[in-house]
């Protein structure tokens, strides 16, 4: 029995699908999913974890509340005698000085110190994250593009990797995974602008200090893992 938290979310859905395709018994956990439970409040989580062998933690609120989600998950896993937690994390969180990354590192440490056998898989940003960075600037007359390199990966490929790990033995922290190409944000914006028939020009942004220095050093990059390109994501979504 494998429980997938956030099973109705962007990452949880393909993870659960890959597990089911592999023949695993999957229990999806989400506030409005097949097993209603709320990781934030803890309501229903103990019951959802009962009898589980493995838990894949794919739920996120993209903020500080993620720490509470992880704490409630660890507590429920301990009570249920879960034998394996699979946690997805982000490449470079121990080297890039961002508050959100500091929280992600704390979540890794919470899982690693729980006493429950675990596997931690760090991944680069999803293709959709890159697109959201552009769409979030929809009210700006220009689009600001940080002068840095990124390595976006398909969420489906991350989901398949988490499923593979969940079906195996706990491994601690495994090798980071990232997409097959390393591109500048400006190049990706040009490709996205063409696919969406946009017209706004890109304005490169660079700031002094430790943040951009970490990106310059490649802290957010790793060995290629996936095969799907950002252009393929755009073609599938926009039919270009």
| CATH number assigned to the domain comprising residue 61 | 3.40.50.720
- Structural domain count, the chain: 1
What residues contact 83, with CB distance under 8 A and at least 6 apart? 53, 54, 116, 117, 170
- Residue 175 confidence (pLDDT) above 80: yes
| 65 confidence band (pLDDT: 50, 70, 90) | very high
**Residue 174, pLDDT score:** 98
Q: In which domain, by residue range, is 68 found?
A: 2-238
Residues 6+ apart with CB under 8 A from 78: 114, 115, 116
Average pLDDT over residues 87-103: 97
Model pLDDT, residue 30 = 83
Asked if pLDDT for residue 45 goes beyond 70, the answer is yes
Percent of the chain predicted with pLDDT > 70: 99
| Largest Cα–Cα separation, the chain | 55
pLDDT of 240 reads 62
Average pLDDT over residues 162-178: 98
Q: Retrieve residue 12's tokens.
A: 């949880």
């Amino acid at each position: 029995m494998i429980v997938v938290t956030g099973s109705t979310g962007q990452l949880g859905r393909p993870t659960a699908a890959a597990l089911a395709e592999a023949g695993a018994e999957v229990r999806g956990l989400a506030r409005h999913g097949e097993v209603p439970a709320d990781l934030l409040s803890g309501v229903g989580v103990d019951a959802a974890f009962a009898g589980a062998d493995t838990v894949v933690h794919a739920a996120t609120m993209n903020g500080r509340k993620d720490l509470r989600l992880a704490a409630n998950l660890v507590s429920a896993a301990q009570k249920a005698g879960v034998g394996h937690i699979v946690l997805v994390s982000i490449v470079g969180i121990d080297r890039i000085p961002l508050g959100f990354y500091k929280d992600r590192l704390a979540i890794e440490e919470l899982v690693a110190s729980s006493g429950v056998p675990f596997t931690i898989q760090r991944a680069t940003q999803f293709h959709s994250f890159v697109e959201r960075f552009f769409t979030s600037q929809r009210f700006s007359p220009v689009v600001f593009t940080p002068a840095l390199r990124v390595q976006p990966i398909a969420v489906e490929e991350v989901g398949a990797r988490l499923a593979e790990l969940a079906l195996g033995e706990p491994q601690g922290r495994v090798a980071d995974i990232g997409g097959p190409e390393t591109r500048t944000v400006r190049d990706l914006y040009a490709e996205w602008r063409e696919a969406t028939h946009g017209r706004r020009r890109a304005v490169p942004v660079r700031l002094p200090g430790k943040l951009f220095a970490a990106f310059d050093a490649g802290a957010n990059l790793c060995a290629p893992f996936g095969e799907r390109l950002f252009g393929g994501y755009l073609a599938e979504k926009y039919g270009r």
